């Protein structure tokens, strides 16, 4: 048995058609692969840029934190110095107050002594010069 010859060209055309179809499929696959690769490349570039920006923000935040820490430490040191100065002033004022209180006590004692001495002088004047004392001698009574 032999096959008719018209079938042979059909097989060649069919095979050629299949080859073209396969080539189209491969071209589509290659195109899809290039598009996927381009999207992946774009995503990587975008992710890398976002990473750089995030690193920049992190570095800026760290710098700001260091600056803030330095500022806070400086202000704390200033506050400690001011507190020490205030404590010294308070101690000096306490010392002055103690000295003033002591001088006041001495002045009060002197005032009491002066008052007592004045009372004694007044009493002596009354007794001796004014003869208000019945026991006073007669010499001063004649002067009065």
Residue 119 confidence (pLDDT) above 80: yes
* pLDDT of 85 higher than 50: yes
Query: What is residue 142's predicted lDDT score, i.e. its pLDDT?
Result: 45
pLDDT of residue 140: 45
Torsion of CA 122, 125, 130, 134, to 10 degrees: 90
Structure-model confidence comparison of residues 77 and 124, the more confident one: 77
Dist CA 140 CA 129 (whole Å): 6
Whether this model's pTM surpasses 0.75: no
pLDDT digits (tens, 9 = 90+) for 97-116: 999 999 999 999 999 999 99
The pLDDT value given to residue 129:
82
CA–CA–CA angle 75, 77, 79 (5° rounding) = 70
Q: How many whole angstroms from its chain centre is CA 39?
A: 48
Output 54-59 pairs: Cβ under 8 A, ≥24 positions apart: none
CB burial of residue 80 (10 Å; 0-12, 13-18, 19+)? exposed
Nearest to 98 by CA among 83, 106, 84: 106
């Amino acid at each position: 048995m032999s096959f008719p010859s018209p079938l042979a060209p059909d097989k060649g055309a069919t095979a050629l058609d299949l080859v073209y179809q396969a080539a189209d499929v491969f071209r589509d696959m290659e195109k899809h692969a290039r598009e996927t690769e381009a999207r992946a490349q774009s995503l990587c570039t975008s992710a890398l840029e976002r990473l750089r920006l995030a690193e920049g923000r992190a570095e800026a935040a760290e710098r700001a934190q260091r600056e803030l820490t330095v500022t806070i430490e400086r202000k704390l040191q200033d506050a400690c110095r001011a507190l020490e100065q205030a404590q010294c002033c308070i101690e000096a004022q306490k010392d002055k107050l103690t000295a003033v209180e002591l001088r006041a006590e001495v002045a009060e004692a002197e005032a009491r002594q002066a008052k007592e001495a004045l009372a004694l002088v007044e009493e002596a004047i009354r007794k001796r010069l004014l003869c208000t004392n019945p026991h006073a001698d007669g010499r001063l009574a004649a002067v009065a």
